[in-house]
Amino acid sequence: MEKFKVLKAVAAPLPLVNVDTDMIIPARFLKTIKRTGLGKSLFYAMRFDETGAEKPDFVLNKDAYRNSKILIAGDNFGCGSSREHAPWSLADFGIRCVIAPSFADIFYGNSFKNGILCITLPQAQVDMLSAKASTGNTAGGAFTVDLENGTITAPDGAVVTFSVDGTKRNNLLNGLDDIGITMQSADKIGAFEDKQRREQPWLYQSA
Amino acid sequence: MTATTLYDKLWNSHVVTSDADGTTVLYIDLHLIHEVTSPQAFEGLRAAGRKVHSPEKTVAVPDHNVPTTADRLLTIKDPEGRLQLEMLDSNCRDFGVPYIPMNDIRQGIVHIIGPELGLTQPGKTIVCGDSHTSTHGALGALAFGIGTSEVEHVLATQTLLTKKSKNMRVLVEGKLPAGVTAKDLVLAIIGKIGTSGGTGYVIEYVGEAFRDLSMEGRMTVCNMSIEGGARAGLIAPDDKTFEYLKGRSHAPKGAAWEQAVAYWRTLKSDEGAHFDKEVVLNAADLVPHVTWGTSPEDVLPISAKVPDPKSFADANKSKAAQRSIEYMGLTVGMPLEQIKVDKVFIGSCTNGRIEDMRAAAAVLKGRKVAKGVGVLIVPGSGQVKHQAEEEGLDAIFTAAGAEWREPGCSMCLGMNPDVLKPGERCASTSNRNFEGRQGVGGRTHLVSPAMAAAAAITGHLTDVRKI
């Protein structure tokens, strides 16, 4: 997994509540056996019309935001399905950080496993950052997200602090693979199974 | 001993090891997989030279993109969907994972077949790369959806690296009035807590209303826990649960059955156990519910009208309501009962069980589908299909003018041939009314099977109690 230390990039405001996983990537684009190449389907219904032409009003279609790597969204971002295609499509498009008042649980976990930092902030701070990303001379400017120090710096120098769960932060900073970490506990997993087999033998009956 | 909740007990009994910050290696007893969220996980295993840790605790079945027409065994026209199905087949063969193919009577929606085959049991931890894994909590199992990286993690280690959620209790006492079903109950709960009300929690449903539900009804409730933001829903196992499981093909047998039941009886929240959040509803107050917008929290009693976005106190919710009403093509103040439908879909992991088929048949029996309305009835599994046909339900459906199909996820999610056309409106027993969920530009109203059948007859959303 790609490490995440400091990200300096344009932030796109997407001030909608309940942006669900079908909005992030409609189900018809899930028929793939790859993790890559999904960026073109990101926010498909919001980004493109029936003919496949870009909708000029959608934020990521505006010139100032085409290269955004940060999204500033509304409450309950990523609600709905467990499809990891949602963070895969964000990552493939280039989004490495999403800032919102809250995230759906499964999406949140999936994102970190794909090198995407989800930052939860109070609504007022999200609104403030969203306003800076969308209006005035800070619009389209570069925001700096520093995971090591837990800070977001707006283009005008305003700083907001954030915190992230220690394990998730560490894995992201170091680009660690969960499976490798868990496999270090192989003996403990074996011991758990031995104990479970004694106490709940029906779980080990062949059926 | 401190009093603990059912969730605490299920969690504690599966902790392999835990860090100071709560990050836990949690043992997984059953891993269900399907064609859409597994190919990249197997690809990851291959790339790292890893095996499946416990193939015998893994079961695979195709459901999401299988067509539901009888000709599906001859050919699957969609090349991408076909490739995913072929990959599931070959991955299972390569890694020794038990696989239920499309032409097997046991095939069906993964969350329907788990309980049906007795794979789902109280006390187990169950995961699947699908958010509606919460369904299995109806039997007192800790069950939740995971992403594909986690599917790979479980395949490789039979564990998950995760953190514990908080405890939430939804208490509903009293009896559900006639015509009010498990679906109405869970829609009313989501209406009350909102789609993020359960975020960070596991919900335990307690009280007479849930105790009185059939196992099928309990599964409907737990299924939609995720629509309330909770990864898992739970109902403590009881005699009804044991009766349901007894004799099912993967249920424990003989002495092991007695031993298992003795353990399962301990799986309940202790008196005085701490819940971080509690929500209370009164069953007697409930009526049939229907969604009007594009989030499951956009739900109202069938007697209500399309709300005015200005009536929402929160500015963001008001904006979302405005967007929903536009997408849904509705008018503020319009009675919900006047909303005409083009399609009716009865099925899915929410409402594709035998009881749902019976509820739809009870309404459709001796009646005709309204002119111009297309009705699709899709059993959740081959066994549900077989049972329904034994009971003659298929004949009732087809006599009414509905289509009776082969099992699968069908029109719930717009990734197989069963999709709405742009602008089409559907009364659906599925679980999500998101924009485009049932097909590009499609409009979804979530309802119970009885309410869906009522809409099929009248051609508009209808209070089934009037029929």
Residues A11-60 pLDDT 10s:
999 999 999 999 999 999 999 999 999 999 999 999 999 999 999 999 99
Judgement on whether residues A185 and A171 belong to the same structural domain of the protein: no
What CATH number is attached to the domain comprising A144?
Answer: 3.20.19.10
Judgement on whether residues A154 and A105 belong to the same structural domain of the protein: yes
Domain hosting residue A57, numbered range? 6-176
pLDDT recorded at residue A2: 83
Test A106 with B131 for CB contact under 8 angstroms.
yes
Judgement on whether residues A87 and A155 belong to the same structural domain of the protein: yes
CA distances (Å), origin B62, targets B35, B119, B136: 5, 16, 18
Q: Is residue A94 part of a domain?
A: yes
- Alpha carbon distance B238, B244 (integer Å): 10
Name the pTM for this structure: 0.97
pLDDT recorded at residue A124: 97
Q: Is the CB of residue B395 less than 8 Å away from at least one CB of chain A? A: no
Judgement on whether residues A183 and A169 belong to the same structural domain of the protein: no
Q: Is residue A157 part of a domain?
A: yes
pLDDT digits (tens, 9 = 90+) for B131-159: 999 999 999 999 999 999 999 999 999 99
Q: Is the pLDDT of residue A207 over 80?
A: no
Indicate if the alpha-carbon torsion angle B320, B324, B330, B334 is positive or negative. Answer: negative
Judgement on whether residues A138 and A185 belong to the same structural domain of the protein: no
Per-residue pLDDT, averaged over B351-376, amounts to 98
- Alpha carbon distance A126, A122 (integer Å): 6
Q: Is residue A121 part of a domain?
A: yes
Q: Is the CB of residue A35 less than 8 Å away from at least one CB of chain B? A: yes
Q: Is residue A1 part of a domain?
A: no
Judgement on whether residues A157 and A185 belong to the same structural domain of the protein: no
Q: Is the CB of residue A114 less than 8 Å away from at least one CB of chain B? A: yes
Determine the distance in angstroms separating the CA of B432 from the nearest CA of chain A, rounded to an integer.
8
Judgement on whether residues A156 and A205 belong to the same structural domain of the protein: no
Residues of A in contact with B50 (CB under 8 A): 179
Q: Is residue A190 part of a domain?
A: yes
- Alpha carbon distance B127, B150 (integer Å): 9
Judgement on whether residues A168 and A205 belong to the same structural domain of the protein: no
* Cβ-based neighbours of B375, under 8 Å, separated by 6 or more: B343, B344, B346, B369, B397, B400, B401, B402, B403, B456
Test A18 with B320 for CB contact under 8 angstroms.
yes
Judgement on whether residues A78 and A135 belong to the same structural domain of the protein: yes
- Alpha carbon distance A67, A11 (integer Å): 9
Q: Does residue B328 sit in helix, strand or coil?
A: helix
pLDDT digits (tens, 9 = 90+) for B396-405: 999 999 999 9
Test B320 with A76 for CB contact under 8 angstroms.
no
Determine the distance in angstroms separating the CA of B324 from the nearest CA of chain A, rounded to an integer.
11
Determine the distance in angstroms separating the CA of B229 from the nearest CA of chain A, rounded to an integer.
7
When divided into structural domains, chain A yields a total of: 2
pLDDT digits (tens, 9 = 90+) for B87-125: 999 999 999 999 999 999 999 999 999 999 999 999 999
**Of the candidates B20, B230, B43, B41, which has an alpha carbon nearest to the alpha carbon of residue B132?**
B230
Q: Is residue A73 part of a domain?
A: yes
- Alpha carbon distance B216, B224 (integer Å): 13
Q: Is residue A125 part of a domain?
A: yes
Residues of B in contact with A22 (CB under 8 A): 432, 434-437
Test A183 with B21 for CB contact under 8 angstroms.
no
Judgement on whether residues A39 and A120 belong to the same structural domain of the protein: yes
**Of the candidates B284, B327, B282, which has an alpha carbon nearest to the alpha carbon of residue B306?**
B327
Judgement on whether residues A23 and A96 belong to the same structural domain of the protein: yes
β-strands B403-404, B299-301 pairing: unpaired
* Chosen from A79, A167, A204 to mutate, greatest number of chain B CBs within 10 A: A79
- Alpha carbon distance A117, A111 (integer Å): 7
Q: Is the pLDDT of residue B75 over 90?
A: no
Judgement on whether residues A147 and A199 belong to the same structural domain of the protein: no
Per the structure block, which two tokens stand in for A127?
């609104």
Chain A's closest residue to B323, CA to CA, is A16
Query: For B249-311, what is the HEC assignment?
Result: CCCCCHHHHHHHHHHHCCCCCCCCCCCCEEEEEEHHHCCCEEECCCCCCCEEECCCECCCHHH
- Alpha carbon distance B268, B237 (integer Å): 7
